[in-house]
Amino acid sequence: MTSRSEILREKIEELIAVGALAPGQHLDETELAARFGVSRTPIRETLIQLASMGLVVIRPRRGAVVAELGPHQLVEMFEVMSELEATCSRLAARRMTPEDHVRLLAAHQACREARDASDPDAYYYQNEAFHEVIYAGSHNQFLFEQTRNLYRRLRPYRRLQLRVRGRVGASWDEHDAVVQAILSGDGEKAGQLTRGHVMIQGQRFADLMASLPQLAAGALVPS
């Protein structure tokens, strides 16, 4: 059963992920408490949890702010993310059960429907579910937890990428190649394709850097 503190953490985490609470923004405990109808104590505890995840920075005597990532740190984190996800895909190709394959295909189809609807917000959430199916398909709980934690840390930036023109369609095409490699049991190919899908470099990096002001302005709040 989900506890009240977990629900509160997930709500604030989601506000950070969609840019409603922008990188560098001060997090006022009193305002957040009023917003969610709770006292300042659970807000303070939630901010500490989010700080442990790297989503919030707590500064002595100055309070908490939403964490910011510089270009170099972003590249480093996406580099690690790509290797973790590549390992998940490589293991998933070897270890997924027929039931796992059904879940993978269902998640892939949900992404396709969001793509066809030209809905980047819907695609973002289905994309997250798709990747988690592959994490789980590795049948390595430690790897699953570490990969999901880093995914959460990068959520605002992964979401932002999907706002770049043509990225949703390209993302789905890349998913499709990964799915085929996993279903065929080709772990090395699945890993290689996933690494390329997640790694941010070249034009994708330039596009993300150009879009960062939108995130800082809170422009990712769904309409």
Secondary structure class of 22 (helix, strand, coil): coil
Q: Alpha helix locations (H) across the chain?
A: 4-17, 29-36, 40-52, 71-95, 98-116, 120-137, 141-153, 155-161, 167-183, 187-198, 202-216
Q: What is the pLDDT of residues 56-77, one digit of tens each?
A: 999 888 889 998 877 888 889 9
- pTM, two decimals, is 0.78
Question: What is the CB neighbour count within 10 angstroms for residue 141?
Answer: 10
Secondary structure class of 163 (helix, strand, coil): coil
Say what the pLDDT of residue 70 is.
79
**Is CATH 3.40.50.1100 the right assignment for the domain spanning 4-66?**
no
Say what the pLDDT of residue 1 is.
46
The one-letter amino acid at 62: R
CATH for 71-216 is: 1.20.120.530
Q: How confident is the model at residue 156 (pLDDT cuts 50, 70, 90)?
A: confident
Mean pLDDT of 21-34: 90
Domain boundaries, the chain: 4-66, 71-216
The one-letter amino acid at 157: Y
User: Are 4-66 and 71-216 equal in CATH topology?
Assistant: no
| CA 159 from centre of chain | 7
Q: What is the pLDDT of residues 160-190, one digit of tens each?
A: 777 777 889 999 999 999 999 999 999 999 9
Say what the pLDDT of residue 219 is.
47
Q: How confident is the model at residue 192 (pLDDT cuts 50, 70, 90)?
A: very high
Cβ atoms of 150 and 77 within 8 Å: the answer is yes
Give the dihedral of Cα atoms 120, 166, 147, 73; nearest 10 deg. Answer: -110
